[in-house]
C-alpha cells in the first residue's frame, strides 16, 4: 500500500523563484528560474541511476545546490522544487510508483517516496511528475504552446512519450499514468520492443528508423548510405543523406512519418486539441519528419479537427523538463 506523505515544508507562494529539475538515467540537471522563465543559474551531476535511491537523491541535491549557488538567489526566496522523473508518478506528485531505469538494492524503483527524500536533502518543498508529462507542461507554459489551452506533446527519441494539456492543466489520469502516447497500437502484430507489437513507439522510435533504412540497404537499394556499414547507421546520417536528396533516406523518413501520423491522427480524433508539439531528438530532422507526419495525420484524421490543430516543433529542446519542473511549482502556488 502506498505510504502517504504530505509536504512538511510550506509553499512560499510569494517567492519569485523556483527550481526545475530534469532527472535522466545518465544525468540530473537543475536550474533556478524566475516566474517568467528566465534561467538564473544551472547545475548538473551524474544521476547514478543504478546505485540506489540515496545516492541518486544526493546527486539531485548536488545539482540543485550548484544551480542555487550559480543563481545568487537565497534559498528562502525559492518557492519549491519540481522534478521530471522517467517513470510512473502518483497523482499527488510524491511517489515514484515505477521507474524502469532506476534501481535500489538491485530492484527497479517501486513506490519510492522520492519527493520526501529530495525535500529532506534540499530543504525545499518538492513535487514530481513523469518526465514526458513535465516536458509538455514546460512547452505549454514557456514554449510552443503558450498561445493555446489544449495541447498534446509527442517526444520522439529512443522511445516515444508525450503529455496532455487539457483546459490549461496537465492531464495525468486516474493514477498519474496518462500520456503514454508511445503505447498506442497503430500496426497490430508488427514490430515490437519495450512497448507492444505494432505500437507507435515500436514503429517510430530511433531503432525503428535505423532498422527501416538498414533493411533497404541490405535489399540492395541504391543509396549513398550503402558506402558505410549499415550496422552503425544513426538518424543523423539518414537525415544528412535525405537533405542531400538520397531517395532511400527520404523514403525512410516518409514511412516513419506515416506511422507517427497514424498515432497523432488518433490523438486528434480523441482529444480535439488546438496544437500538437513534436519534441525529442528525432524532431531535429525538421521538415524531413514533420512533413510526412502532417500528411499522414491529415489523411487519417477527422479533417474538421486536423485542420485547426497545427503540428509544430517544440521550442525548448533538452530544457523542456527543467521548465516543466519549474511549472509544477508555479502551478502549485497559483502563479
Q: Are residues 177 and 311 in the same domain?
A: yes
In a domain, 12, yes or no: no
Residues 193 and 256 in one domain: yes
Asked if residue 47 belongs to a domain, the reply is: yes
CA distances 196 to 97, 184, 201, 301, Å, are 21, 9, 8, 23
Residues 258 and 188 in one domain: yes
pLDDT tens by residue, 53-71: 999 999 999 999 999 999 9
In a domain, 239, yes or no: yes
Nearest to 13 by CA among 61, 79, 68, 65: 79
Alpha-carbon gap, residue 242 to 253, rounded angstroms? 8
Which domain covers residue 235, as residue numbers? Answer: 147-315
Provide the pLDDT for residue 64.
98
**Residue 203 lies inside a defined structural domain of this protein:** yes
**Burial zone of 248 (CB within 10 Å; 0-12 exposed, 13-18 middle, 19+ buried):** buried
Instruction: For the chain, give the mean pLDDT.
Output: 94
Quote the CA–CA distance of 117 and 113 in Å, as a whole number: 7
**Same domain, yes or no: 230 and 269:** yes
Alpha-carbon distances, residue 315 vs 17, 32, 145, 300 (angstroms): 22, 19, 9, 26
Number of domains in the chain: 2
- The pLDDT of residue 60: 98
The answer to whether residues 219 and 174 belong to one domain is yes
Residues 21 and 165 in one domain: no
128 with 272, same domain: the answer is: no
| Closest C-alpha to 44, from 298, 334, 322 | 322
Whether residues 167 and 257 fall in one domain:
yes
User: Is residue 127 in some structural domain?
Assistant: yes
Q: Domain check: are 311 and 323 in the same one?
A: no
pLDDT higher than 90, residue 3: no
Q: Is residue 259 part of a domain?
A: yes
Set of cell numbers at residue 268: 486528434
Per-residue pLDDT tens over the stretch 303-329: 999 999 999 999 999 999 999 999 999
3-state SS class at 293 = helix
Virtual torsion, Cα 277, 283, 287, 288, nearest 10 deg: -140
pLDDT band for position 192 (cuts 50, 70, 90): confident
pLDDT digits (tens, 9 = 90+) for 142-179: 999 999 999 999 999 988 999 999 999 999 999 888 99
In whole angstroms, give the CA distance from residue 231 to residue 73: 49
Rounded distance between C-alpha atoms, residue 246 and residue 224, angstroms: 7
Does residue 220 belong to any structural domain of this protein?
yes
Query: Are residue 296 and residue 159 in the same domain, yes or no?
Result: yes
186 and 123 within one domain = no
Q: Does 2 map to a domain?
A: no
Q: How confident is the model at residue 96 (pLDDT cuts 50, 70, 90)?
A: very high
Tell me: do 260 and 135 sit in the same domain: no
pLDDT score for 286: 96
* CATH number of residue 152's parent domain: 3.30.420.40
pLDDT of residue 160: 93
pLDDT at position 2: 42
Residue 108: its pLDDT value, please? 94
Amino acid at each position: 500500500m502506498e505510504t502517504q506523505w504530505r509536504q512538511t515544508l510550506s509553499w512560499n507562494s510569494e517567492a519569485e523563484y523556483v527550481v526545475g529539475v530534469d532527472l535522466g538515467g545518465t544525468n540530473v540537471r537543475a536550474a533556478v528560474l524566475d516566474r517568467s522563465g528566465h534561467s538564473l543559474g544551472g547545475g548538473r551531476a551524474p544521476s547514478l541511476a543504478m546505485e540506489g535511491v540515496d545516492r541518486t537523491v544526493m546527486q539531485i541535491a548536488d545539482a540543485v545546490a550548484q544551480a542555487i549557488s550559480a543563481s545568487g538567489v537565497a534559498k528562502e526566496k525559492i518557492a519549491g522544487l519540481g522534478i521530471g522523473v522517467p517513470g510512473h508518478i502518483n497523482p499527488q506528485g510524491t511517489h515514484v510508483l515505477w521507474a524502469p531505469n532506476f534501481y535500489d538494492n538491485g530492484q527497479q524503483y517501486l513506490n519510492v517516496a522520492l519527493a520526501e527524500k529530495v525535500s529532506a536533502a534540499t530543504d525545499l518543498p518538492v513535487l514530481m511528475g513523469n518526465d514526458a508529462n513535465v516536458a509538455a507542461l514546460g512547452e505549454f507554459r514557456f514554449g510552443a504552446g503558450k498561445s493555446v489551452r489544449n495541447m498534446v506533446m509527442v517526444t520522439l527519441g529512443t522511445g516515444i512519450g508525450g503529455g496532455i494539456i487539457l483546459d490549461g492543466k496537465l492531464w495525468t489520469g486516474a493514477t498519474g499514468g496518462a500520456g503514454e502516447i508511445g503505447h498506442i497500437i497503430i500496426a497490430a502484430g508488427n514490430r515490437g520492443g519495450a512497448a507492444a507489437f505494432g505500437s507507435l513507439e515500436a514503429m517510430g522510435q530511433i531503432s525503428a528508423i535505423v532498422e527501416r533504412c538498414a533493411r533497404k540497404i541490405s535489399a540492395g537499394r541504391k543509396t549513398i548510405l550503402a558506402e558505410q556499414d549499415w550496422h552503425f547507421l544513426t538518424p543523423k546520417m539518414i537525415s544528412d543523406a535525405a537533405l542531400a536528396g538520397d531517395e532511400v533516406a527520404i523514403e525512410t523518413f516518409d514511412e516513419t512519418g506515416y506511422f507517427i501520423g497514424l498515432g497523432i491522427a488518433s490523438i486528434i480524433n480523441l482529444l480535439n486539441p488546438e496544437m500538437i508539439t513534436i519534441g525529442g531528438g528525432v524532431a531535429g530532422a525538421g521538415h524531413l519528419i514533420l512533413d510526412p507526419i502532417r500528411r499522414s495525420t491529415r489523411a487519417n484524421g477527422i479533417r474538421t479537427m486536423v485542420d485547426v490543430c497545427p503540428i509544430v516543433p517544440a521550442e525548448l529542446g533538452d530544457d523542456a523538463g527543467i521548465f516543466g519542473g519549474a511549472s509544477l511549482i508555479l502551478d502549485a502556488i497559483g502563479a
